[in-house]
A = this chain, B = another copy of it.
Amino acid sequence: MRHNITQLHEQVKAGNFLAIARGVTIVENSLPGYESLLLSLHETRHARVIGITGPPGAGKSTLVSALLHHWLRENKKIAVLAVDPSSPFNYGALLGDRIRMSEYYTNPNIFIRSLATRGALGGLSAKIIEITDLIREAPFDIIMVETVGVGQSEVEIAGLADCTIVALVPEAGDEVQTLKAGVMEIADIFVVNKADRADAEGLYRNLRILAHEKSTETHETPVIKTVATENTGIEELATEIDKFLETQKQQPAKRLHLMTEKCWQLITAQRMKNINHNVLKSELATAILKDDFNLYAFTKDFLNRSQ
């Protein structure tokens, strides 16, 4: 196995898509060789990781698609990791545009992989970190990680991306929609997608105010209007991504911060790996009916049995 993993690692570094796909499968499912594969990774940090998050319906996949299109013309090599379970990437169809989709899936410069979310608390983000680090080993210029922003997961994602894009769309009551997003703090770049809608201006203005409030002397979070389906604003977005990545290179403190968060999540996942949330809940369902129920005695017993 050790020998195979070494060989696989070499193939990943050479950019062999089949090897990358196999490596991702090994890491995703913790198959034999999983640990030695991760232990053999180098911090080459060639590829930059771009996180794209936002509520369902914000057109994240369309944005990814438009950015792909843009970067392909610059001869970039790109990996796409779609963690959103509702992402069209997950169904092998991109926006129903099957022609473009098949173009992407057969393009030697694009590697696409979707990941099912598992519902296991703490477990998902550690897996994404591991898989992203594996893909980073291959000679990609850019790795895009698309996640849906509906809970805490998008905050975790911010910990692994070099640049996090938060995509929003105008809607009736857009302040209210964005209230729910809970992803404001993590945005390096805001995108107002579907900006040709009549009510886009209000959302744009609010985000500009927010960005201004968050601004420092040297930096204010850009807010970009796009119509991803028509490639409008994509060039400007790509320029802002480049600019942001350029400034980040000079920030060792940010790298240390990201690395600490990544490590913390790996440690948490490791320490919690034999704790199953569903088992916990079902055991509690019985236990709390007892007259002498004590949460601390239950927890102690549960932990003893979970060694």
Query: CB < 8 Å: which of B43, B152, B180, B296 contacts A184?
Result: B180
Query: CB < 8 Å: which of B41, B182, B259, B280 contacts A182?
Result: B182
Query: CB < 8 Å: which of B179, B210, B263, B285 contacts A299?
Result: B263
Q: Looking at chain A's contact residues, is the secondary structure mostly helix, strand, loop, or mixed? A: helix
Closest to A178 in B: B179
Query: CB < 8 Å: which of B176, B271, B285, B295 contacts A275?
Result: B271
Closest to A263 in B: B299
Interface residues of A in 110-148 (CB under 8 A from B): 121-122, 130, 133
Q: Which residues of B contact A130 (CB under 8 A)?
A: 296
Contacts A206-B173, A209-B176 given: A303-B184 contact, CB under 8 Å? no
**What 1/0 mask marks residues of chain A from 290 to 303 whose CB sits below 8 Å from any chain B CB?**
00111111111011
CB of A303 within 8 A of CB of B270, answer: yes
Distance to closest chain B CB from A143 (angstroms): 16
Q: Which residues of B contact A210 (CB under 8 A)?
A: 173, 176, 179-180
CB of A39 within 8 A of CB of B280, answer: no
Distance to closest chain B CB from A178 (angstroms): 6
Closest to A299 in B: B266
Contacts A180-B184, A184-B180 given: A266-B281 contact, CB under 8 Å? no
Interface residues of A in 30-57 (CB under 8 A from B): 35, 38-43
CB of B263 within 8 A of CB of A295, answer: yes
Within 8 Å of chain B (Cβ to Cβ): is A225? Answer: no
CB of A296 within 8 A of CB of B185, answer: no
Among A38, A180, A267, A297, max chain B CB count under 10 A is at A267
Within 8 Å of chain B (Cβ to Cβ): is A19? Answer: no
Given pairs A43-B288, A43-B293, 10 additional interface contacts (CB within 8 A):
A152-B155, A175-B178, A182-B184, A182-B185, A255-B288, A259-B288, A263-B302, A266-B295, A267-B280, A270-B303
A selection of 6 A-B contacts at a CB cut-off of 8 Å is A39-B296, A39-B297, A41-B296, A175-B206, A176-B209, A260-B281
